[in-house]
């Protein structure tokens, strides 16, 4: 069968990982790398040394790569601000595209990308590799089936994103309003901000963010966040994250009237009530009673194909072999939530209704960018991302 010819824009940590560790090692069954692109000649030189230039064309300009006729599909692995404009350039040319997380920095930009996707014949995917995790897929399934009843509380403590000074010094754009558009929320947490909505099937209707800016590192953006969520059904939530603590926690709990799900330490536990707890409360003659509850470790299919899973599915979807697992347009939900928390943080913890006012957000962000300072470090670094993708 014909293989999908992929081009990658951006040969930093992720782009080089996909090229050298996934494609070059045969992890993408129906896809091959036909072109690589980076504005930095030293990265192209380095990649040529690793992968050769027999079957791969190299570009410093991404539109030249798109117009070369050499790529059927593109993976965008550039700094966040560039994601939408590059995805739009692909979609307008009918080139299939997978956008790295986050979908963008602000919703106004992401909406334009989504409109381009709607008008395009090409497929639009997203690198939400943690959606492939069997534990999160199973949580979503149980909740969607009503397995824990009406959701009452969502709690995610995701504080195992420790990052060192060396990490922040690996790129001048890192951890700056102008280069990244945010800190731990936009760089480390897009997965959780996506999953917390995808798994529960609920989107917060209002949010508060309490953010520490450069609290644990010499950076201008947030590296410590506590967020509070309100949901339309009356549920509430907390979301706590930082890059300044270790050993952190990764504890995702969703409670409902029929029990709760707890995902921690690479296990999913189901606490299942015999009856709905609020109905029990109304009818029992016991003041301190609770419904009977059975606790089990949930079995899953054990699969977690991660980045390779997303790329394989995308290639297969292009070839008509599978349904697309992730509609790229859903990327806006994580950006909405991130923007809401960030805007609240800038406004001292004010309650922000979602969706955020896209113009207000963009105006505030532009203000931040005006005085933003790029880090005085080399941009030639490529980090080994092994062990950086989060643990449960």
Element (H, E) at 368: helix 358-370
Are 168 and 180 spatial neighbours (Cβ–Cβ below 8 Å)? Answer: no
- Among 287, 299, 302, 320, which residue interacts with its own copies (rule: CB under 8 A)? 287
Q: Is 236 in the site for its own copies (CB under 8 A)?
A: yes
Q: Residue 382 Cβ, how far from its own copies at the closest point, in Å?
A: 10
CA 155 to chain centre: 18
Q: Residue 184 Cβ, how far from its own copies at the closest point, in Å?
A: 14
Q: Is 163 in the site for its own copies (CB under 8 A)?
A: yes
Q: Is 220 in the site for its own copies (CB under 8 A)?
A: no
- Among 112, 216, 322, 379, which residue interacts with its own copies (rule: CB under 8 A)? 216
User: Which residue from 44, 120, 30 is spatially nearest to 317, judged by alpha carbons?
Assistant: 30
Residue window 299-318: x/- pattern of binding to its own copies, with contact defined by CB under 8 A: --------------------
Site for its own copies in 347-386 (CB under 8 A): 348-349, 351, 383-386
Cα separations (Å) of 12 from 20, 39, 78, 105, 171? 12, 11, 8, 19, 10
Residue window 183-212: x/- pattern of binding to its own copies, with contact defined by CB under 8 A: -------------------------x-x-x
Q: Is 150 in the site for its own copies (CB under 8 A)?
A: no
Candidates 24-32, 70-78, 97-105, 159-167 — which segment interacts with its own copies by CB under 8 A? Answer: 159-167
Residue with tokens 């690589």: 36
Torsion angle of the four alpha carbons 168, 22, 127, 322, in this order, in degrees rounded to the nearest 10: 180
Specify the residue, 277 or 316, whose C-beta has the smaller distance to its own copies.
Answer: 277
Q: Residue 185 Cβ, how far from its own copies at the closest point, in Å?
A: 15
Q: Is 391 in the site for its own copies (CB under 8 A)?
A: no
Please name the residues in contact with 134: beta carbons below 8 A apart, sequence gap of 6 or more.
Answer: 300, 301, 302, 303, 304
Tally Cβ neighbours within 10 Å of residue 2: 8
Candidates 33-41, 137-145, 253-261, 355-363 — which segment interacts with its own copies by CB under 8 A? Answer: 253-261
CA distance 230 to 154: 10
Residue 14 β-bridge partners: none
- Among 93, 140, 153, 329, which residue interacts with its own copies (rule: CB under 8 A)? 153
Q: Which residues of 196-212 are buried (b: 16+ CB within 10 A; e: fewer)?
A: bbbbbebbbeebbbbbb
Please name the residues in contact with 307: beta carbons below 8 A apart, sequence gap of 6 or more.
Answer: 17, 18, 22, 127, 129
Q: Is 172 in the site for its own copies (CB under 8 A)?
A: no
Binding interface with its own copies (CB under 8 A): 152-153, 155, 157, 159, 162-167, 170, 208, 210, 212, 215-217, 224, 226, 228, 230, 234, 236, 238, 240, 242, 244-249, 251, 253, 255, 259-260, 262, 271, 273, 277-278, 280-282, 284-291, 293, 295, 348-349, 351, 383-388
């Amino acid at each position: 069968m014909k293989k999908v010819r992929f081009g990658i824009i951006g040969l930093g940590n992720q782009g080089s990982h996909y090229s050298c560790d996934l494609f070059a090692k045969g992890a993408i069954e129906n896809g091959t790398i036909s072109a690589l692109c980076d504005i930095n000649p030293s990265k192209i030189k380095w990649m040529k040394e690793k992968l050769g230039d027999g079957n791969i064309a190299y570009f410093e300009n991404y539109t030249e790569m798109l117009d070369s006729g050499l790529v059927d599909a593109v993976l965008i692995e550039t700094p966040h601000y560039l994601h939408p404009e590059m995805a739009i350039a692909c979609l307008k040319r009918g080139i299939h595209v997978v956008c790295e997380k986050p979908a963008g920095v602000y919703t106004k930009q992401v909406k334009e990308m989504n409109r381009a996707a709607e008008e395009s014949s090409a497929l639009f995917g997203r690198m939400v590799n943690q959606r492939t995790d069997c534990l999160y897929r199973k949580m979503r399934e149980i909740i969607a089936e009503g397995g824990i009843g009406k959701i009452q509380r969502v709690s995610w403590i995701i504080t195992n994103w420790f990052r060192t000074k060396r990490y922040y010094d690996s790129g001048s754009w890192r951890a700056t309003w102008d280069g990244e558009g945010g800190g731990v929320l936009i760089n480390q947490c897009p997965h959780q901000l996506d999953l917390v909505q995808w798994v529960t099937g609920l989107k917060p209707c209002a949010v508060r963010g309490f953010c520490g800016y450069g609290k644990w590192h010499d950076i201008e953006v947030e590296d410590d966040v506590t967020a509070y969520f309100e949901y339309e059904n009356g549920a509430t939530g907390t979301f706590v994250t930082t890059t300044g603590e270790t050993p952190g926690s990764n504890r995702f709990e969703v409670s409902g009237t029929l029990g709760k799900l707890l995902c921690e330490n690479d296990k999913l536990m189901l606490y299942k009530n015999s009856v709905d707890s609020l109905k029990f409360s109304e009818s029992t003659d016991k003041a301190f009673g609770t419904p009977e509850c059975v606790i089990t470790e949930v079995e899953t299919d054990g699969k977690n194909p991660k980045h390779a899973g997303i790329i394989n599915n995308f290639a297969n979807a292009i070839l008509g072999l599978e349904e697309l697992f992730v509609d790229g347009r859903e990327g806006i939900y994580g950006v909405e939530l991130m923007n809401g928390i960030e805007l609240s943080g800038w406004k001292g913890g004010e309650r922000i209704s979602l969706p955020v006012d896209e113009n207000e957000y963009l105006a505030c962000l532009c203000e931040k960018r005006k005085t933003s300072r790029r880090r005085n470090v080399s941009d030639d670094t490529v980090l080994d991302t092994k062990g950086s993708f989060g643990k449960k």
